[in-house]
Every structure is written in C-alpha cells, then in structure tokens.
Structure 1
Amino acid sequence: MTVFFTSDTHFGDPRILRIDRRPFPDLPTHDAALVAAWNAVVGPDDTVWHLGDFALGPPPERITALLAALHGRKHLIIGNNDGPATLSAPGWTSVAHYAETEVEGRRLVLCHYAFRTWNGLGRGAINLHGHSHGRLKPIPRQYDAGVDAQGLHPVTLDQILVSRRGHGGQGLGRDGAVERQGLSTGRSIKSEPSEGSAKKRRRSDRRLSEPSA
C-alpha cells in the first residue's frame, strides 16, 4: 500500500479553468483528465489524503460518482470550498479539518491551510497543505500538495520532498518560464511571469479563497 497526497482538484468548479488557467478546453475534459491522472498513479489498495477543495458545484450524485471512480481509500481534510454534498458523500474513509499522521517515519501535520507554525515543527514534523494553488512562498518543512503544484495528480511524500514544485511554486523551465504539462493534449503550456500577471494572480487568489454564492 502506498500513501498519496493531493488537494484542490475543484471538480465541477468552472472558476478553476479561468483562475488557474489549467490546460483544458472545458470543465468535463478537466474533470475526466484529473480522474484519469489520479487512477494512473493510485491503485485500489492505496491511501489518498485529499487536503481539501475536492469539488464545488456538482450535484450530490455527481460527487458520489466521482468518488466511486477514483482509486484508493480516500481521506478528506476539509477545505473552504467543500460543501455539504462533498462532506456527506459516501466514499470517504474519514472527514476532518485537521489530521496528524506518520508516513515512512516522518511525522506529518495535514490541513487545507498552510500554517505559520505547527505541532512538532521543532522536532522535524512536516506541514502538508493545499489552498494556495502553488503560489505561496515556501518556508522550511512546509509543502503544497495541491494539483497545481504537483503535476495535476496525487503524489507520494517522497515525490513532494524532492519536487521543486512541492516547495510552493510551479516548476521552472530552463528559461525561467512557468511550465505545465497539458494532460488532455500532451503539450507543454508556458507562460512568462510578469508584474501584471502577478497582480492578476493575487486578485484571483482572493476570489478562490471564498466559496461561490
């Protein structure tokens, strides 16, 4: 059994294509690609900790179907966009706002939100979080497990620890451009960072931090 971590899938949330510029032409393609990417790495007997914002918008039966389609024993750490339909859906092994666990001899503190400090920090505990969509400035022993920071699929702890993107940002190409792999097309998506785009991203962060009306 392997333990995986992920966050911020935002299944069924139309904002995600616009705000995070995920490389998909429409929401059904986005959702199908994330399910396929999940099942390509997670087996039926594996464990997945989802650190919040699983879905926003789909009816309860759609959320139930999504959970049934995804491999593994799934634990939910509640995010700000997880509504009653997500929290009550069958298919979760556990649902909580916060958890502490140990994986491969490492103590982990799990929450949707990144902490300034956390239990066991001085003894080497690691904080895994979501919410920031790969845009939070990193601090030691803290990692963004969200799909935007981790290649759009669940990852193991070892993958998080060795991944540059696990330290809170997108992977950088040789020329410094932000680079992501378009799962639906197999092509590389690049965008040059700029002051104007950074301001837009900060405004987008504020919109994603609140649930839709």
Structure 2
Amino acid sequence: MAVFFTSDTHFGDPRVLRIDKRPFKTIPEHDEALVAYWNETVAPDDEVWHLGDFSLHAPPERIDELLSRLNGHKHLIIGNNDGPATLAAKGWADVRAYAELNVGGRFVVMCHYAFRTWKNMGRGWVDLHGHSHGRLKPQTRQYDVGVDVWNYRPVTLETILGTRRRRAPRAASA
C-alpha cells in the first residue's frame, strides 16, 4: 500500500480553467481527466490524503459519484472551497482541518494552507499543503501537493522529496 497526497482538484468548478489556466476546454473534460489520472496513479488499496478544495459547486450526488470512482482510501483535509456537500460526502475515511502522519519514518504535517512554521520543523518534519496552486516561493521542507504542481495527479512523499525543484514541470498536454 502506498500513501499519496494531492489537493485543489476543484471538481465542477469552471474558475480553474480560467484562473489556473488548466489545459482543458470544459469542466466535464477537466473532471474526467483528473479522475483518469488519479486512477492511473493510485491503486484501490492505496491511501490518499486530499489537502482541500475537492469540490465546491458540484451537487452532493456528483461528489459522492466522484469519490466512488476514485481509487484508494480517501482522507480530506478541509480547504476553503469545500462546501457542506463535500464535507458530508460518504466517500471520506475522515474529514479534518489538520493532520500529522508518519510516512515510512518521515513525519509530515498537513493542512490546506502553507505554514510559515510548523511542529518539529527543526527536527526534519515536512509541511505539505495545497491552496497556492504552485505560486508560493518554496521553503525548506515545505511542499505544495496541488494538482497544478504535479501534472494533475496525486504524488507520493518519496517523489516529492526526490525532486530538487519544488514545482514539477507540467505536461505539454494533459
């Protein structure tokens, strides 16, 4: 079982096509591509931590349908664009604002928002966040796990820590 991290999928939200310049013509195309990329990356028994902004504008039945189609055991760290339907959806193993996790001996803190300081940062703990869509200046041991940074897919901590750059190159076409 692998552990993956992601954020800012913004399923059903047309603003991401314009604001984030995502390479999709329509929201249905966007949503289907993100589901396909997720399922190409994550196996059914893997664990996925979604660090917020899963969906705001989709109706409850659409959110439940999306979660049922996405591989893995899914945890939600609440983002500013997660409405009541997202928080109440049946597909989450749990929903919370913050979490700490030991991933193969590496400790991480997770929140939708990037921290300036965090628990045990001087002892090597890593800060994983979303919200900024790859626009924040990188800090030591702080990583944006948003789909805009990682080619619209969830990413492992090993991959995150193995890159020298804080921002992975986007694919030429998604």
Point out where structure 1 has 5 or more consecutive residues left out of the alignment.
Answer: 172-178, 184-213
Q: How far off its partner does 1:164 sit?
A: 4.7
Deviations 1:123-149 (A, max 9, x none): 100000000001100110000000001
RMSD over aligned Cα, in angstroms? Answer: 1.1
User: Paired residue for 1:181?
Assistant: 172
Q: One-letter code of the match for 2:20?
A: D
Deviations 1:78-106 (A, max 9, x none): 00000000000001001000000100110
Tell me the secondary structure at the aligned position of residue 40 of structure 1.
helix
Q: One-letter code of the match for 1:39?
A: N
Structure with higher RCO (Cα < 8 A, 6+ apart): 2
CA distance, structure 2, for counterparts of residue 5 and residue 153 of structure 1? 9
Residues 49 and 76, structure 1, Cα contact 8 Å, conserved in 2: yes
Deviations 1:20-72 (A, max 9, x none): 11101100000000000000010110000000000121100000000000000
1:34-45 correspondence to structure 2 within 5 Å:
34-45=34-45
Q: How far off its partner does 1:170 sit?
A: 5.3
User: Paired residue for 1:26?
Assistant: 26
Point out where structure 2 has 5 or more consecutive residues left out of the alignment.
Answer: none
User: Paired residue for 2:74?
Assistant: 74
Residues 148 and 170, structure 1, Cα contact 8 Å, conserved in 2: no
Q: How far off its partner does 1:181 sit?
A: 3.3
CA distance, structure 1, for counterparts of residue 41 and residue 168 of structure 2? 20
CA distance, structure 1, for counterparts of residue 49 and residue 22 of structure 2? 22
1:138-153 correspondence to structure 2 within 5 Å:
138-153=138-153
Q: Which has the larger radius of gyration?
A: 1
Q: Normalising to structure 2: TM-score of the pair?
A: 0.97
Q: Percent identity?
A: 65
CA distance, structure 2, for counterparts of residue 17 and residue 180 of structure 1? 16
Tell me the secondary structure at the aligned position of residue 171 of structure 2.
strand
Q: How far off its partner does 1:182 sit?
A: 2.0
CA distance, structure 2, for counterparts of residue 152 and residue 162 of structure 1? 18
Q: One-letter code of the match for 1:5?
A: F
Q: One-letter code of the match for 1:17?
A: L
CA distance, structure 1, for counterparts of residue 79 and residue 131 of structure 2? 7
Residues 53 and 81, structure 1, Cα contact 8 Å, conserved in 2: yes
User: Paired residue for 1:108?
Assistant: 108
